[in-house]
Structure 1
Amino acid sequence: MDERSPWTPTVIRPADVDVSPDAEGLRRQLTSVDDLGAELARAKALVWRGFSVSPEEFEELLPLLLPQRWAYRHGNSPRTKVGDNVYTSTEYPPQYTISMHNELSYARNWPTRLLFYCQQAPRTGGETPVVDGTAWLSALDPEVREAFADGVRYRQNLHDGHGFGKSWQQTFETDSRAEVQEFLDDTGAEWEWRSDGTLHIEQHGPATLHDERTGEVVWFNQADQWHVAGLGDETAAALAAIMAEEDMPQSVVFADGSPIPAEYVHQVRERGLAEAVDVGWEAGDLMLIDNVLVGHGRRPFTGPRRVLVAMSG
């Protein structure tokens, strides 16, 4: 029997590291760490609480946490860009749960770090659940793990400004087809422009990853978010009534093109959420996660909530 304690993020408070409870104290703590990357790989998720970081101070601290920030190019969730490669967290109705996922795991190049900053905490709920990728993988039935062994194939249909989901211009943060084509060619994706202006993209992705730093094998894909079964029965039925699954803004199949059973999708979603640890928010909190070793999501909430996100390789 495995008697190890369940994994939880490492929470750092000013008193824990003998610094002042403000942004300067956090700066002192960060500059005292010899190798933040190694510390993050060990902890998998780091939460700084009680430092009361303001939005302006957050901007000043960003270089210490994410030396090189990525644009959210090829991102499929609705966000607003609010700074230099700083975005709002996914703008999804507050009454719904966002299931566990690793950011941009469907892309050829994914970020290794994600930084969250709470500018405004909700009245209730709104926690960011984080899940250890090894625990998520272990929670799945052997039949499901085996079925996903060869990975998955993601499919996107990005409209030209009018249609369901995000346009290709929003997705790639450009109006230039040439820039999009160059980006996709660099990723090895299959793509085509269709006669109505839609950009169709197909990309193979892994279902699991072996992390060379830790030796761990983790669940690493977004099949449950891309599959029609992950939309909920009512939404899935409404979309199915007006378009074929292959014409939807996004969909996913096994690597060989065969369909993924809905019950597998439900199991992946439900067990990922069940294994997750909820991180509640207070204004001024920050959380840095290793985007390979842990997945993240969002719980429902009430009242205004503003959590900003930045990412890096």
Structure 2
Amino acid sequence: MSWQPHEITPETVAAPATAAGLVDHLRAEAALDHLLTEHKALVFRGFGVTPETLESAIDLLLPNRLAYVHGNSPRTKVGKNVYTSTEYPPEYTISMHNELSYAATWPARLMFFCEVAPTTGGATPIVDGTAWLEALDDEVRDAFAAGVRYTQNLHDGLGLGKSWQDTFESTDRDQVQELLTDSGATWEWKRDGGLRVHMVRPSTIKHPVNHNEVWFNQSDQWHSAALGDETAAALARIMPEDELPQSVTFADGSPIPGEYAIQVRDRGLEVAVDVPWNSGDLMLIDNISVGHGRRSFTGPRRVLVAMSD
């Protein structure tokens, strides 16, 4: 049987089917860290959590909640370091990725909360990073061995993609420069007030506890081939690739073949496990062991996300 997340319900842990029952269970669960490392993803169903009762559960699942600094996807902040999940049109599937894997530091845990379940579809696929790595052709794994180089072009408030102010949750240039220096990135301020950032990162890492090697980069999402032929062609007509909001090459600056990026994207989705949502469900994932995405959907789906180190 292929890997599956571990499901926790009021029945399996002999707890009341209430948000308070979940909180009491989490307070008494001394082995939560071990459970997460062992199972890689935990799904909590049937506890009737609401936005009003969510805070207590988050505090136990994510003891040190982080801001979404240097995040590249569109989100809305709705609470204390709680955000909407990526706000892409519902008809699109979001491919697999580990949160902030392109950055110098990344969250160890992610928590998802389903406030409103979709009418159809809208599952969150999750993928075991070791299985994703093993699903790739040897030729592709070998090509990525030296890592990847990400480029971001962040505008100053008007343009394609995100602004540098939104990306770093700051309007202070000195603060942003300090953050980038600490991360090992290189950058330049452009004449129009925008910011170009370059980052060289590994393509795989080893989990700090179980030492499993996992695929851990967002090369496919940053590659123009993943935009689709029509979108990529339209953008190519108006700007060179290194002027796009985000782009990626191999670490030495040589281009990544489009078919490699497509294989990475498609194999990740092929070996993923779909987690469907009911309103009130929670999921906690190990962000190193497990990548996540989103299936297309209809209806008013609203899933919130928070993260911690």
TM-score (norm 2): 0.99
1:221 corresponds to 2:207:
no
What SS class does the counterpart of residue 55 from structure 1 fall into? coil
Shift of 1:200: 0.5
Structure 2 match to 1:148: 144
Partners of 1:130 and 1:29 in 2: CA distance: 25
> What aligned pairs does 1:15-164 form with structure 2 within 5 A after superposition?
15-164=11-160
SS at match of 2:198: strand
User: RMSD value over aligned CA atoms?
Assistant: 0.7
Separation in 1, partners of 2:73, 2:94: 11
Q: Deviations over 1:149-202 (max 9, x none)?
A: 011000000000111000001101111111111111111110110111110100
Tell me the equivalent position of 2:180.
Answer: 184
| In structure 1, C-alpha distance between the alignment counterparts of 2:299 and 2:162, rounded to whole Å | 26
Asked if structure 1 preserves the Cα contact closer than 8 Å seen for 2:23 and 2:56, the reply is no
**CA–CA distance in structure 2, aligned partners of residues 252 and 69 of structure 1:** 29
Q: Percent identity?
A: 64
The answer to whether structure 1 residue 252 and structure 2 residue 257 are counterparts is: no
1:212 aligns with: 208
Task: Point out where structure 1 has 5 or more consecutive residues left out of the alignment.
Answer: none
Q: What is the aligned residue count?
A: 309
Given the alignment, which residue of 269, 276, 294 partners 2:272? 276
Tell whether 2:266 aligns with 1:264.
no
| 2:234 alignment counterpart | 238
| Structure 2 unaligned spans of 5+ | none
Q: Deviations over 1:22-47 (max 9, x none)?
A: 11111122112113222111110000
Deviations, residues 88-116 of structure 1 (Å, cap 9, x unaligned):
00000000000000000000000010000
Q: Output the TM-score relative to the length of structure 1.
A: 0.98
Kindly provide the amino acid, as one letter, of the partner of residue 60 in structure 2.
L
Q: Compare 205-214 and 81-90 and name the one that shifted more.
A: 205-214
